[in-house]
Amino acid sequence: MLRIPGLDRVTSLFILLIVVALTMMTLDLRSSGAGVGGTLRDGTQAVFTPVQQVFGDATRPIVNFFETLSDLTSLRDENEALRTEVADLERALQETESLQSRVEELEQILAVEPPEDLEAVTATVLAIGVSEFDFVRVIDKGRLDGITVDMPVVDEGGLIGRVVSATDTSARVLLITDPTMKVAVRVERTGETGILTGRGGGPLGLEMFNTDAVLLEGDLLVTADGRYPAGLSVARVAQAARAEVGFALRTTAVPTAEITRVDYVKVLVFTRDEGGAAGVEGAEEGGEIEVPTDGVEPAEGETEEGPGDSSTTTTVADNP
C-alpha cells in the first residue's frame, strides 16, 4: 500500500483520493461533462431509474400521509383564499375579451410570429437531485419516447428547464434555477430583452440589455428567440427596477412554473438545431402546446456554464 513518509496510512490514502478526485474533476470539466463522464452518468442513471421507481412507489404512502396532515391545517385558509380568487376571476373574465384584441395588435407591432403547434411528451417526475445543490429532476421518459438533449421542459405555469441527458427510459432535466442556467427573455409588456440567471434557492436574477428599460413588478417574462421556443412563460418580475445612471439594469424575478412542486411535466419536442422537431418519432400523441417556433439559435448571452453543459444534440433518428 502506498504510504507517504511521515503520514499514517489513512492520511496517505485520503491525500491519494483527493488527488484522484481533483484529477477527475479537471478531466470532467475539460470534457464539459461529455465523454467518459457523460457515458458513465447515463449508464448509472439507467441502472438507477428502476431503483428510484421502486423507492418512489414504496414511499408514496408516507409522503401522502404527511401531505394530508399539512393540507388539513391549511384547508381553512385555502378556502377563504379561493373565495376571493373566484371573485377576482369573474372580474378578470370580463376584461379578457377586450384584452384579447389588444394582445393581437401588440403582437403585430412586435412582429411576433403566430404560434405553431409543437408536439409534447408528458412525463412524470421520478426523482429529484441527490443534494440541495443539484437542481435536477429525473423524468420517466427517455430516448424511446422521443426525448433528446436540449429539449425544453414546461409545466402548466411555464418553462421549468431543459433536458441535459437522456437514457432510453429516463431523462434528466436541469432546472432554470440552477446557477449555471441562463435564459434569454423578453418582457411581454415592452418587448425589451434580457437574461435570466438561476440563483439556486432564491429568485432568478434578471439583467436587461437596455439599461433605460423600465421594469414593473409583475411584468411577465417570456422566452426570447434562442435555445427555447419564443413566447414560453418563464417568470414574473419580483421588484420594479429602473437604472438610475445608465449602468446595468438588474432585478429579480420569480418563476411562473411551480419549480419545487412539479409532479408532471411536458417535454416540448423542439431542439435549436432542428428549429422545431415536427415529426420526431416516438413522441406521444396529444398534449400539444401552442408555441411559436421561430428562431432556433441561442440568443445573446443565453448559455449554460459549468461541466453540466453539453452542446451535443441527440436525435431520435440516431437511436434504435
Partner 1 sequence: MSFRRAGVALLLIVIAVGLQTTLFARLRPFDAAPALVLLTVIAVSRHIPDELAVFYGFLAGLLLDLLSESALGLWALTLSAVAYATVRVKDRIAGDYRLVAPVVFVVSAAALALFALLGTIFGERTLADAALVKKILLPSLYNTVLAVIVLPLAGVLIGRARRTTGWRL
Shortest gap between Cβ of 258 and partner 1 (angstroms)? 12
Q: Which residues, other chains included, contact 303 with Cβ-Cβ below 8 Å and sequence gap of 6+?
A: 182, 309
Q: What angle do CA 112, 113, 118 make, to 5 degrees?
A: 125
> Which CB sits closer to partner 1, 157 or 307?
307
Q: Taking CB under 8 A as the rule, does residue 250 contact partner 1?
A: no
> Which CB sits closer to partner 1, 11 or 74?
11
H/E run at residue 215: strand 214-215
- Using CB under 8 A as the binding rule, the residues of this chain from 169 to 228 that contact partner 1 are 172, 174, 178-180, 199-203
CB 301 within 8 A of CB 182: yes
Q: Taking CB under 8 A as the rule, does residue 248 contact partner 1?
A: no
CA distance linking residue 280 with residue 31, whole number of Å: 29
Q: Pairing between strand 204-208 and 241-242? A: unpaired
Q: Taking CB under 8 A as the rule, does residue 125 contact partner 1?
A: yes
Q: Which residue in 2, 69, 109, 130 binds partner 1 (CB under 8 A)?
A: 130
Shortest gap between Cβ of 185 and partner 1 (angstroms)? 18
Q: Pairing between strand 249-255 and 220-223? A: unpaired
Contact string 224-243 vs partner 1 (x = CB under 8 A)? --------------------
Beta bridge partners of 152: 162
> Which CB sits closer to partner 1, 114 or 306?
306
Q: Taking CB under 8 A as the rule, does residue 132 contact partner 1?
A: yes
Give the C-alpha distances (Å, rounded to integers) separating 105 from 109, 244, 265, 290, 295. 6, 32, 32, 19, 21
Q: Taking CB under 8 A as the rule, does residue 37 contact partner 1?
A: yes
* CA atoms within 13 Å, Cβ hemisphere of 316: 20
The counts of H helices and E strands in the chain are 2, 16
Q: Which residue in 63, 75, 87, 240 binds partner 1 (CB under 8 A)?
A: 63
- List of residues contacting partner 1 (CB under 8 A): 1, 9-11, 13-14, 17-18, 20-25, 27-29, 33, 37, 40-41, 44-45, 48, 51-52, 54-56, 59, 62-63, 66-67, 125-136, 138, 164, 172, 174, 178-180, 199-203, 260-261, 305-308
